[in-house]
Structure formats: structure tokens, C-alpha cells
Amino acid sequence: MSSGESVKEIRERLGLTQSELANLTAYSPSAIARYEAGSRQPSRRFLRRLAEVERVVSQTGHPEAPFLGDWRDTRTVDLRLTAIESRLGRLESMVGQVLDLLSQRPPQP
């Protein structure tokens, strides 16, 4: 499967139009169309944004809600807060694991 086919498959699985995906990734609809048609290779930056959109939409179940849209849109704020809370939860877990490991170390002479 080409990268363009992958972009299209992800977009369709999320239930998004090319315009909606363009809004969520802050790319133009014509760029999305070129990626999907295979006439242009997606940049790493686009692929990172696509992965973030996929993760957030999968977690929230809100394919219609913009992720990188207007901050004044409360749905956008909710999605961003969900993403931040998820990252903080993972960070807290990692810190807890490090503290547990440190507490188990024998004292250094």
C-alpha cells in the first residue's frame, strides 16, 4: 500500500472528508488530494499531524470535531485538553515507575 493509499484509508476510517482532514491537519484540501492521488509524497510533518489526529479522534470518538482549528471553538479546546490529559497521565505513570525503581535501589556507599 502506498503512502497516499494509507492517507486515504486512515481518512476514510475516521469518517472524514478531504476538507475535514485538511482542517484538522492545517494542510490544504488540495495537498490532501495530491497525497491521496500519489502525485506528491506526504511530508514527515504531515504524517505526524495525521497520526496525532488519528490518535485523538480514536480516543474521543468525535471525527467531526476539529483538532487544530479555532481555539474559540469549545470542541477544539476539549480535544486539546483530552490530548494533554492523556500525555500527563502517561508522564505521571512514568514518574511513578522511576520513583519505584529508585526506592528499590540499595544505598550507594
Q: What is the pLDDT of residue 9?
A: 93
Q: What is the pLDDT of residue 18?
A: 92
Please tell me the pTM assigned to this model.
0.56
Q: What is the pLDDT of residue 78?
A: 67
Is pLDDT of 83 > 50? yes
Q: Name the packing angle between helices 18-25 and 44-60 (round to 10°).
A: 100
Q: How confident is the model at residue 85 (pLDDT cuts 50, 70, 90)?
A: confident
How do residues 12-45 score in pLDDT, each as one tens digit?
988 889 988 888 888 899 999 999 999 999 998 8
Cell readout for 77 is 479546546
Question: Which has more confidence, 66 or 103?
Answer: 103
Using CA atoms, how far apart are residues 32 and 36, in angstroms rounded to an integer?
Answer: 6
**Residue recorded with cell 470518538:** 61
Specify whether the CB–CB gap between 43 and 75 falls below 8 A.
no
One-letter amino acid for residue 49 of the chain: R
Q: Map out the domains of the chain with their CATH numbers.
A: 3-104 (1.10.260.40)
How do residues 49-78 score in pLDDT, each as one tens digit?
898 888 888 777 665 544 445 545 566 666
Residue 37 gets the label, from left (phi > 0), alpha (psi -120 to 50) or beta, of alpha
Q: What is the pLDDT of residue 73?
A: 59
One-letter amino acid for residue 37 of the chain: A
